[in-house]
Chain A
């Protein structure tokens, strides 16, 4: 951009920069509000005017992980002094942590749901990316009869509305006892992500020059050896990007999880909304749960920033 700019152009540029900043602030405001509510004392979460400056607290996270009950009377000074710090912050909110007969702290439903999300998302990602990488290589390097139709078939399985697939899957899972199981969700998410992983990985495979493997074949490698020793290392970035996308999709998925699980294998997305019951919800606890749940995705988004375009367009736009 060596061209001479007129003063009006420079003026417009300044306006545009200010506009971009304003838009960014508006777009990030809801996310900021989640993060800040997660550190507020309960009475400051729903105030008018909204509370922006406050003393951050850790109590929403303590409450997120524990079962609590209302305190009938304030704790005595001895009780207060004997309590660990994480119990005191709950006392301050007029509640106490529920313990069982042996004095063990009772966990809330959140940690197990978070673990379920991790188990299901990680396992299904490994399966989808593993199978997808092989299949993409097959489509990329060999002539396949009806390749375009097969690839369309693979893509179309991903385009189905989740509820449409969920109705028969629910009946089938009920028949074989896979309802509310990790395995059931893992299979669903693997199937869901597999098509995506094939499409994206095919793009990455197409970019690896065929000559690399051909040279290896000439050197006496078998096709399998060439695939594992030459192609896979070359495709590492693509595999990592695909894996992160699959993880995020499985991590965020709601409809299947809502229909297929209710307790044992329930993941965080259907659990977090179920906490909002009839009464006045404690938004600080919901914000804390949401904050922890969104954190991995936010980190991954930064790691993925150079591959977002490609991933979000199913590999259609590569730049």
Chain B
């Protein structure tokens, strides 16, 4: 008995015997965070799952009645909600494609020896660090039909950006492209600088044209990192609330999170909004899952 105890002590270091064991340190470091996230992120979701089966309205004191799947059925049969999803899809496509084109294009331009390149890059990255809500508000002035600088600079007269139902969504997307192209640019620059120079030299020796070089060397090698940018921006664009909510109240620009906000906090249809929140949640988790799988694949390389 005594001998085994001594060997156990010998095997672990003196220090380990003195302080906490590694396992208790691990638990001490990890478990509080997991608990915190469960209490403040998962528990609320369980709470709202319960409400999603009721006709609860947070604005009244009336007790909630269990209505089963009624909320989900109503929502999925509501053409209004479907149109919100369609608007969101349109918005995601316009803004992500726009960001991809502008961001990657600027990165291609920047990917050479340029005086003050570091400073220019940092300045270009500034928009994405700023508050969407606060800067978005100021874009209202820029878009103003009578005294906005955008119409003045482009010579568009009194073109209606935000109050024209056809234009509003594009205007929001344009601001989003301004804010988030820098993000695509940042990732593209990292991808471009990782392309081995000798590939370009080899292509030059073979007298490959610029198009061939771009489509056969640059694009395939930058594609994985561009993909990260696209998935990340898709997820964020899908969730967009601040910018669209502040810039316009046009129904044609009512994204799904704005519909959700109005349902929950203006119409006070709490039960139904919980159901809609769950539908949105499942969609976001699906995109997140793809994103994380892809991240792990890229990391392995």
Contacts and interface: CB of A to CB of B under 8 A. Distances in A.
A166 B242 CA distance: 14
A305 interface: yes
- Is the contact region of chain A dominated by helix, strand, or loop, or is it mixed? helix
A165 B41 contact: yes
A278 interface: no
A30 B132 contact: no
Interface string B65-98: 0000000000000000000000000000000000
A218 B201 CA distance: 51
Given A172-B47, A223-B16, A317 B242 contact: no
Interface stretch (B3-11, B22-30, B159-167, B211-219): B22-30
A28 B19 CA distance: 55
A19 B124 CA distance: 13
B171 interface: no
Contacts of A165: 41, 44-45
Contact of A13 (B112, B123, B187, B292): B112
Contact of A218 (B13, B149, B235): B13
Interface in A95-148: 131-132, 134-135, 137-139, 141-142, 144, 148
A313 B147 CA distance: 38
A169 B58 CA distance: 12
Question: Which 8 A-B pairs rank lowest in CB-CB distance, beginning with the nearest?
Answer: A222-B19, A138-B29, A254-B133, A168-B44, A252-B131, A168-B48, A142-B26, A157-B41
B224 to A, nearest CB: 10
Given A33-B149, A313-B228, A316-B299, A290 B280 contact: no
A156 interface: yes
A183 interface: no
A41 to B, nearest CB: 15
Given A191-B40, A254-B132, A269-B133, A168 B47 contact: yes
Given A13-B112, A20-B106, A191-B40, A163 B131 contact: no
Contacts of A169: 40, 44
- Is the contact region of chain B dominated by helix, strand, or loop, or is it mixed? helix
Interface string B271-291: 001100100110011011000
Interface in A11-33: 13, 16-17, 19-21, 23-24, 27-31, 33
10 contacts: A30-B127, A30-B139, A31-B127, A134-B32, A134-B33, A161-B241, A223-B20, A255-B242, A269-B242, A305-B121
A69 B22 CA distance: 66
A150 interface: yes
A45 B34 CA distance: 50
Interface string A177-220: 00000000001101100110010000000000000000001101
User: Which residue, of A27, A222, A225, has the highest number of chain B Cβ atoms within 10 A?
Assistant: A27
User: Which residue, of A144, A220, A317, has the highest number of chain B Cβ atoms within 10 A?
Assistant: A317
Contacts of A236: none
B73 to A, nearest CB: 20
A163 B147 contact: no
A286 B124 CA distance: 24
Given A20-B114, A287-B138, A317-B190, A308 B125 contact: yes
Contacts of B2: none
B101 interface: no
A240 interface: no
A30 B177 CA distance: 13
A57 to B, nearest CB: 18
Contact of B110 (A20, A48, A139, A191): A20
A307 B140 CA distance: 32
A49 B148 CA distance: 9
B120 A20 contact: yes
A49 B147 CA distance: 8
Interface in A283-305: 283, 286-287, 290, 293-294, 297-298, 300-302, 305
B152 A48 contact: yes
Nearest to B175: A30
A117 B139 CA distance: 22
B22 A163 contact: no
Contact of A47 (B30, B147, B225): B147
Interface in B48-74: 48, 51, 58
B43 to A, nearest CB: 8
User: Which residue, of B30, B120, B292, has the highest number of chain A Cβ atoms within 10 A?
Assistant: B30
